[in-house]
Amino acid sequence: MARAALQRRLTWRLAEVTQLVAETPRVRSLLLRVPGWPGHRAGQHTDVRLTAEDGYTAERSYSIASAPDAGEQLTLTVERLDEGEVSPYLTEELRIGDQLELRGPIGGYFVWDLELGGPLMLIAGGSGICPLMAMLRRRASASSQVPTRLLYSSRTQEDIIYREELDRLGAAGSGLQVIPTLTRVQPPDWTGHSGRIDQAMLNDVAWSPSDHPLIYVCGPTALVEHVADALVSLGHDPERVKTERFGPSGG
Amino acid sequence: MRLDGNAIGGLLGQLFTAEVTDARGSCHGCGAVGALGAQHLYMHPLAPGAVLRCRSCQSVLLVLVLAHGRIRLALRGMTWLDMGDSAVPAVWPSASRGPVLA
């Protein structure tokens, strides 16, 4: 495991883009090959650094969306923020064969390993699904039966990232229940939840505090704080509610 | 903007060999104990640094400033920082795990 390897200070590595996947109109996955990648844990992130011709640099953090068992292959999923200076480049300009500077893996707090077990309650808003996807992919690749629920809030149906893969992962008998909610527009045949995640919805779909679930919440700051407060009000142990805020913009 | 201490992991990783976002610290202001990654981080992409505050009492735990090619870390609000055994490299001399008996 990564933790058993010789630890050293983080350094910048060169990653090569091997594949680009359009996930939604605003979101693209970057499949990268990172020579010497030491491995990671589900939930960790990386810093990406871009350098302009005049030497100006910009750094941003992106969660790793791939399971920690793909060797030197790594997937980052990036949402385009119109006012951002990095995400428009990553989602629109970047081409296969291009190189990026990358530093990681980073973070030992918002992580899930198989040995931590469950039941697992994952709650995401928008591209907050990315680190949770690494956990779900890890769970699937290890054929884990840890009872898991994913409550995932998107604006519209076409904004649901990894929609087909989530349908597959959450198939009957998988032990994973995917619970989507759409906040802005619902298709006429929509059978899922509507509106933002609130205390009533959490009370409805989350494990009860007596099940002692491990809870991971990731998304925009406002969603994360609202959900975390609601979970604590419902009686969940704050120590078992882990959060990762994306901020109002990260771009 | 407010984030989690977890987001400062990359910067701290330039300073420390061990992953410190899951290390637990004690707030000098209120005595609360928790993982650095779980505290409130105030940072903006265009700002030259970051401020980590206690999520219980909002006291400043640490300040990190990046300027003129230097990094300055001010650990002004933490009484102590406690890291698990996994933070110790596996190849650390055996002395860290006690004397080796032949």
For residue A66, give the CATH number of its domain. Answer: 2.40.30.10
- Residue range of the domain that includes B30: 2-83
Give the C-alpha separation, A13 to A65, whole Å. 18
Q: What would the pLDDT profile of B9-48 be if each residue is shown by its tens digit?
A: 888 888 888 888 989 999 999 999 999 999 999 988 778 8
Residue A187: asked if its preceding bond is cis (omega within 30°), the reply is no
Residues A140 and A86 in one domain: no
- What is residue A84's predicted lDDT score, i.e. its pLDDT? 86
Sign, CA dihedral A237-A241-A247-A248, equals negative
Residue B89 lies inside a defined structural domain of this protein? no
Give the C-alpha separation, A245 to A242, whole Å. 10
Residues A15 and A75 in one domain: yes
CB contacts of B3 in chain A (<8 Å) are 221, 245-247
The alpha-carbon gap from A223 to the nearest alpha carbon of chain B, in Å, equals 12
The domain total for chain B is 1
CB contacts of A103 in chain B (<8 Å) are 10, 13
The 3-state DSSP composition of chain B as helix, strand, coil percent (nearest 5) reads: 20, 35, 45
Query: Which of B13, B71, B49 has the alpha carbon at shortest distance from A46?
Result: B13
* Domain final residue, candidates A58, A80, A106: A106
Residues A70 and A94 in one domain: yes
The alpha-carbon gap from A172 to the nearest alpha carbon of chain B, in Å, equals 34
| Chain A interface test: which of B2, B4, B64, B83 (most A C-beta within 10 Å) | B4
Residue of A nearest to B18 (CA): A7
CB contacts of A221 in chain B (<8 Å) are 1-3
Q: Helix, strand or coil for residue A60?
A: strand
Residues A62 and A78 in one domain: yes
Residue A123 lies inside a defined structural domain of this protein? yes
Residues A127 and A92 in one domain: no
Residues A118 and A226 in one domain: yes
The domain total for chain A is 2
B31 touches chain A (CB under 8 A): no
Put simply, the answer to whether A245 touches B15 (Cβ < 8 Å) is no
Tell me how far apart the terminal alpha carbons of chain A are, to the nearest angstrom: 32
- What is residue A249's predicted lDDT score, i.e. its pLDDT? 44
Which of B10, B18, B35 lies closest to A7 in CB terms?
A: B18
Residues A158 and A182 in one domain: yes
Say what the ipTM of the complex is.
0.73
**Series of mean pLDDT values for 10-residue runs along chain A (251 residues):** 55 95 96 94 94 87 92 94 89 95 92 93 96 97 96 96 96 94 95 95 94 96 95 95 76 50
- Residue range of the domain that includes A232: 114-245
Average pLDDT over residues B59-63: 96
B71 touches chain A (CB under 8 A): no
Name the strand (E) or helix (H) holding A230.
helix A221-233
* Domain final residue, candidates A45, A71, A106: A106
- What is residue B95's predicted lDDT score, i.e. its pLDDT? 40
